[in-house]
Amino acid sequence: MITLAQLRTLIEHSFSPLACECSISGDHSLTVKLYHPVSGRVDLVVSGLNMTRLQSAEAVATLIEELRYELQSNTLHRPDPVM
């Protein structure tokens, strides 16, 4: 079983230099926020992720790829992308 701290570490390492904030809501869904650690500019927020589906390395890798796609889609028109 992957803990929230482990998940946060995996995501943060995958999106460095961005910082990551992960939180679980009352219905056990996960929210992931990726932001610039110095300016605080938020680059991506995804909520409603099912934590029960993130219990394997493969599931976490899939999530990271999906987050990477979303982040790239959000930064295509930004003049100063972080990644």
- pLDDT tens string 16-33: 999 999 999 988 899 999
pTM: 0.81
**Cβ atoms 72, 83 nearer than 8 A:** yes
Report the 3 state secondary structure along 5-65. Answer: HHHHHHHHHHCCCCEEEEEECCCCEEEEEEECCCCCCEEEEEEEEEHHHCCCHHHHHHHHH
- pLDDT tens string 50-83: 988 988 889 999 999 999 999 988 765 555 545 4
- Sort 80 into a burial class: Cβ within 10 Å, 0-12 / 13-18 / 19+: exposed
